[in-house]
Amino acid sequence: MKLEGRVALVTGASRGIGRAVALTLAREGASVAVNYVNGAKEAENVASEIKAMGRRAITVRADVSNQEQVRKMFAEVTQSLGGVDILVNNAGILIPTSLMETTEGDWDRVMAINLRGPFNCTREAAKTMMHKKNGKIVNISSISGLGCAPTGEGAYGCSKAGVIALTSVAAQELGPYGINVNCVAPGWTKTDMTNAKSGAKADEINVRKSGLAAMRRIGEPQDIANVVLFLASDESSFVSGQVVVADGGRMDFVSHA
Ligand code: NAP
């Protein structure tokens, strides 16, 4: 048990990567707060699975882009489970439009959820963590944030590049308080996000993306959760400010490096 006695808050844990992260941290002994914004039923299902493992879990609704809702979420988690030891900034959205089609509203929405969300949650988590002189923050960026965002991912890629910059600054500023801040940059992973983007062509796109990876497959949410677990555990105690790419060895991205 790597996380016995720890309290973890995973944003966007009702589905996809966040769900896999919440279940993985719980399997290692953590009590988990399952954040969501719309998917109450899905979040309840995740919490039920965690409770069935004999761990504590709550669901907590909050739009991460809203500072007040984030404040209330942390207060609720602290009251129910205790102060947050592990924060996973996972919640995110993709609005797949070209730059010319992207409205100012779309741009602001993507930035608000994908970048202001982690900013809001990091600051709220850090209050407790700085006091405890201990904590782990894991941000979920994307290979699209590494300077190679593909067509249709302008706002998304910029928000995810911002998450990498946020990781670096937070690592510098919070490191002296015993807080590790790291980032995972997943490649194409099978979730609602990638299915929604692909629509009826999902299978075709998945085959194409598989061919671009050295491992010849697309990612599963568990592939990403395994990396998050390492960064959330004491095994990564001397790792901070890093971006771990989990993309099956995307050859098109390697060629850009
Ligand atoms: P997903 O299946 O679409 O799930 C998104 C999650 O975020 C849901 O739990 C959703 O909650 C939550 N969410 C959305 N807006 C929110 C908000 N304003 N406040 C709180 N929660 C919110 O997406 P995913 O593929 O698992 O993606 C998870 C993270 O990985 C994202 O940051 C994404 O950018 C990143 N990522 C994904 C891929 C990929 O290929 N899938 C690749 C690279 C990076 P509700 O259920 O309540 O709507």
**pLDDT tens-digit profile of 170-199?**
999 999 999 999 999 999 999 999 886 556
Residue 233 pLDDT exceeds 60: yes
What H or E segment, with its residue span, contains residue 61?
strand 57-61
Question: Residue 123's pLDDT is what?
Answer: 98
C-alpha 75 – ligand 1 centre gap (Å): 23
> Which of ligand 1's atoms lies nearest the C-alpha of 221?
26
C-alpha 192 – ligand 1 centre gap (Å): 8
Question: Residue 199's pLDDT is what?
Answer: 60
Report the CATH number of the 7-256 domain. Answer: 3.40.50.720
Question: Residue 197's pLDDT is what?
Answer: 56
Nearest residue (CA) to ligand 1, atom 39: 189
DSSP 8-class letter at 83: S
Q: Is 71 exposed, middle or buried (0-12, 13-18, 19+ CB in 10 A)?
A: middle
20-62: per-residue pLDDT in tens?
A: 999 999 999 999 999 999 999 999 999 999 999 999 999 999 9
79-113: per-residue pLDDT in tens?
A: 999 999 999 999 999 999 999 999 999 999 999 99
Amino acid at 159: S
CA torsion sign for 44, 127, 182, 135 is negative
Rounded Cα distance, 89 and 123, in Å: 12
> Which of ligand 1's atoms lies nearest the C-alpha of 40?
47
Q: Return the domain boundaries, the chain.
A: 7-256
Mean pLDDT of all residues in the chain?
95
The verdict on whether 36 is a catalytic residue reads no
